[in-house]
């Protein structure tokens, strides 16, 4: 290998190491670092004990029910979708340090369909992805989604019971920083069986009767509220269809029923609503029927990259407690994670570029030039005679004895030419690519293992 090709190989090695460090670690840190907690300076000074809450919607870890895959293909898809979630949640905790994380449901994709044995394996996988690295400081709250227990009259009773037993209640009211955080199970609320819907309906009734407090109410629901068809969702929505559809199908519904929405708004009178399920961002205003006040609903995008939306997202919520100077207030900000498919596209483009660069280097190194030569033919009765002898003539010297000898016939000039060795080309190409891959693969594995070991 010539010095030029050796230098080029080293440059490509360094280039790929830097590229992988950026794509596998740097971009995640950068995206989460640049999206800071919403902070109002005056409120922060007046109410310094503010609390940070992260909102994660629809992790919906990929399984057999996601795309009907199985075997090695399913394991491959699970691996690459899992590592994305693992990295994102790891940096969300270490960089943003939330006091609480609220999961808006659809923890697993086929949760409602699994047998107990398979469900426990999938739930262990889910817990390994969303490890609480600061259990003494950070609390987590899991809501149920339609992929976990079903929805409406198609709620799966065993799946609901299993969720209650191993994950937690589907209805909760939390008091955080002088705010009522209402985690409402709207999936069972619309079930006609009182044994299924009783808990949700009792909570709504209790909240409707208890209006003595002056704490802001933040309502969390997996399924978004109903709204007029075609209602604009805001500029942060990624879908070409800039509104939330109102479809219904097997075990899913894009929106709550209109009468359910009006009843919840009137009974709870929330200061804000947070929802998931749609996998994309949406911000709409709702009017509370009895008071004519307006409340904002924030639909949070999915946390995974294989959910039909190009860029995964989450939300940050800052809660300011009530003090003698200010009333309790809150602020919301949406945040976006790296575009994973875009990262893979960059890898593919750079791999193609590397192949081209190495091919050009090897092509140049596989050519050799043979200079012109002057021969004299001796004892050649014919040019094909086997006894024909050829003597190389030094034609660089005009006084050459060979040239001046009258006994020799006229010389024959063989022109110079280039030759290409296919075997040499492929040998060099494979050697250089092996040298590059021997650095790239361990670097990639180290980047991934960092999130499993540390």
Is 12 within 8 Å of 361 (Cβ atoms)? Answer: no
Quote the pLDDT of residue 225.
97
Quote the pLDDT of residue 24.
95
Q: Is residue 333 part of a domain?
A: no
Q: How far is CA 87 from CA 29, 33, 80, 126, 446, in A?
A: 9, 13, 11, 14, 13
Higher pLDDT, 319 or 46: 319
Quote the pLDDT of residue 368.
53
Neighbours of 59 (CB within 10 A): 28
**409 and 427, same domain (yes or no):** no
Q: Provide mean pLDDT across the span 204-209.
A: 93
Q: Is residue 87 part of a domain?
A: yes
Q: Nearest CA to 155 among 222, 202, 207?
A: 222
**70 and 154, same domain (yes or no):** yes
Q: Provide mean pLDDT across the span 196-203.
A: 95
Residue 28 is part of which domain span?
A: 1-34+339-366+422-454
Neighbours of 403 (CB within 10 A): 15
Cα–Cα dist 177/52, whole Å: 10
Quote the pLDDT of residue 252.
83
Question: CA 416, 422, 425 angle in degrees (round to 5)?
Answer: 100
Q: Nearest CA to 189 among 233, 232, 219?
A: 219
Cα–Cα dist 40/434, whole Å: 54
Cα–Cα dist 347/340, whole Å: 11
Is 4 within 8 Å of 428 (Cβ atoms)? Answer: no
N residues, the chain: 454
- Measured in degrees and rounded to the nearest 5, phi and psi for residue 423 equal -60, -40
Q: Provide mean pLDDT across the span 258-274.
A: 95
The count of domains in the chain is: 3
Q: Nearest CA to 119 among 131, 111, 107?
A: 111
**154 and 198, same domain (yes or no):** yes
Q: Is residue 334 part of a domain?
A: no
Is 50 within 8 Å of 177 (Cβ atoms)? Answer: yes
Is 297 within 8 Å of 332 (Cβ atoms)? Answer: no
Is 233 within 8 Å of 278 (Cβ atoms)? Answer: no
Quote the pLDDT of residue 66.
78
Query: Residue 85 above 70 pLDDT?
Result: yes
Q: Provide mean pLDDT across the span 386-409.
A: 51
For all residues of the chain together, what is the average pLDDT?
A: 86
Q: Is residue 24 part of a domain?
A: yes
**204 and 278, same domain (yes or no):** yes
**169 and 278, same domain (yes or no):** yes
Quote the pLDDT of residue 413.
56
Quote the pLDDT of residue 344.
95
Rounded percentage of the chain residues whose pLDDT exceeds 90: 65
Q: Is residue 281 part of a domain?
A: yes
Cα–Cα dist 177/99, whole Å: 11
b/e code 367-400 from CB counts within 10 Å (16+ = b): eeeeeeebebbeeeeeeeeeeeeeeebeeeeeee
CB-neighbour burial class of residue 231 (10 A; exposed 0-12, middle 13-18, buried 19+)? middle
**362 and 385, same domain (yes or no):** no
Cα–Cα dist 119/110, whole Å: 9
Output the domain CATH number for residue 122.
Answer: 3.60.21.10
Cα–Cα dist 450/144, whole Å: 31
**289 and 383, same domain (yes or no):** no
Query: Residue 126 above 60 pLDDT?
Result: yes
Quote the pLDDT of residue 290.
84
Rounded percentage of the chain residues whose pLDDT exceeds 70: 85
SS3 content of the chain, % helix, strand, coil (to 5): 40, 20, 35
Cα–Cα dist 235/222, whole Å: 22
Quote the pLDDT of residue 309.
92
Query: Residue 89 above 60 pLDDT?
Result: yes
**56 and 176, same domain (yes or no):** yes
Query: Residue 386 above 70 pLDDT?
Result: no
pLDDT digits (tens, 9 = 90+) for 297-342: 999 999 999 888 989 999 999 999 988 677 879 999 999 999 999 9
Q: Is residue 357 part of a domain?
A: yes
**241 and 252, same domain (yes or no):** yes
**279 and 247, same domain (yes or no):** yes
Q: Is residue 120 part of a domain?
A: yes
Cα–Cα dist 103/101, whole Å: 7
- Report the range of poorest mean pLDDT among 125-139, 217-231, 359-373: 359-373
Q: Is residue 392 part of a domain?
A: yes
Query: Residue 380 above 70 pLDDT?
Result: no
Q: Provide mean pLDDT across the span 40-69.
A: 86
Query: Considering Cα of 119, then 125, then 128, then 131, what sign does the dihedral take?
Result: negative
Quote the pLDDT of residue 417.
54
What are the structure tokens assigned to 167, written together? 């994950």
**283 and 184, same domain (yes or no):** yes
Is 374 within 8 Å of 396 (Cβ atoms)? Answer: no
Cα–Cα dist 391/379, whole Å: 11
Cα–Cα dist 248/190, whole Å: 14
Q: Provide mean pLDDT across the span 431-442.
A: 90
Strand partners, 141: 102
End-to-end CA distance of the chain: 40
3-state secondary structure of 371: coil
Quote the pLDDT of residue 303.
96
**28 and 49, same domain (yes or no):** no
């Amino acid at each position: 290998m010539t010095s030029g090709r050796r230098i080029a190989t080293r440059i490509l090695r360094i280039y790929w190491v830097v590229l992988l460090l950026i794509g596998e670690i740097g971009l995640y840190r950068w995206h989460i670092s640049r999206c800071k907690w919403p902070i109002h300076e005056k409120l922060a000074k007046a109410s310094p004990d503010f609390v940070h809450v992260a909102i994660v919607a629809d992790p919906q870890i990929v399984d057999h029910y996601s795309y009907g895959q199985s075997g090695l293909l399913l394991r491959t898809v699970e691996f690459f979708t899992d590592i994305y979630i693992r990295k994102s949640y790891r940096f969300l905790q270490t960089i943003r340090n939330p006091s609480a994380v609220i999961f808006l449901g659809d923890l697993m994709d086929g949760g409602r369909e699994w047998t107990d044995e398979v469900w426990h394996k999938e739930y262990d996988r889910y817990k390994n992805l969303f490890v609480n690295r600061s259990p003494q400081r950070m609390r987590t709250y899991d809501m149920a989604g339609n992929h976990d227990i079903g929805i409406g009259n198609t709620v799966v009773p065993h799946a609901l019971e299993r969720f209650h037993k191993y994950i937690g209640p589907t209805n909760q009211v939390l008091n955080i920083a002088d705010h009522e955080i209402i985690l409402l199970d709207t999936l069972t609320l619309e079930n006609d069986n009182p044994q299924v819907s009783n808990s949700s309906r009792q909570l709504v009734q209790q909240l409707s009767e208890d209006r003595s407090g002056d704490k802001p109410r933040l309502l969390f629901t997996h399924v978004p509220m109903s709204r007029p068809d075609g209602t604009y969702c805001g500029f942060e929505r990624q879908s070409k269809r800039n509104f939330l559809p109102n479809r219904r199908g097997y075990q899913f519904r894009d929106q709550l029923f209109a009468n359910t929405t009006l009843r919840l708004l009137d009974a709870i009178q929330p200061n804000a609503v947070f929802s998931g399920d749609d996998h994309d961002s949406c911000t709409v205003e709702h009017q509370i029927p009895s008071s004519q006040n307006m409340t904002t609903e924030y639909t949070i995008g999915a946390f995974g990259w294989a959910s039909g939306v190009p860029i995964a997202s989450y939300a940050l919520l800052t809660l300011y407690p009530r003090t003698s100077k200010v009333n309790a207030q809150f602020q919301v900000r949406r945040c976006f994670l790296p575009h994973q498919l875009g990262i893979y596209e960059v890898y593919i483009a750079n791999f193609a570029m590397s192949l081209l660069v190495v091919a050009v280097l090897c092509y140049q190194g596989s050519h050799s030039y043979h200079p012109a030569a002057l021969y004299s033919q001796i004892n050649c009765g014919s040019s094909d005679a086997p006894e024909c002898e050829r003597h190389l003539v030094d034609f660089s010297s005009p006084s050459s004895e060979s040239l001046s000898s009258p006994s020799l016939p006229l010389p024959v000039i063989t022109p110079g030419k280039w030759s290409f060795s296919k075997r040499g080309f492929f040998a060099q190409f494979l050697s250089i690519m092996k040298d590059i891959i021997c650095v790239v693969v361990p670097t990639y594995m180290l980047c991934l293992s960092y999130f499993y070991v540390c």
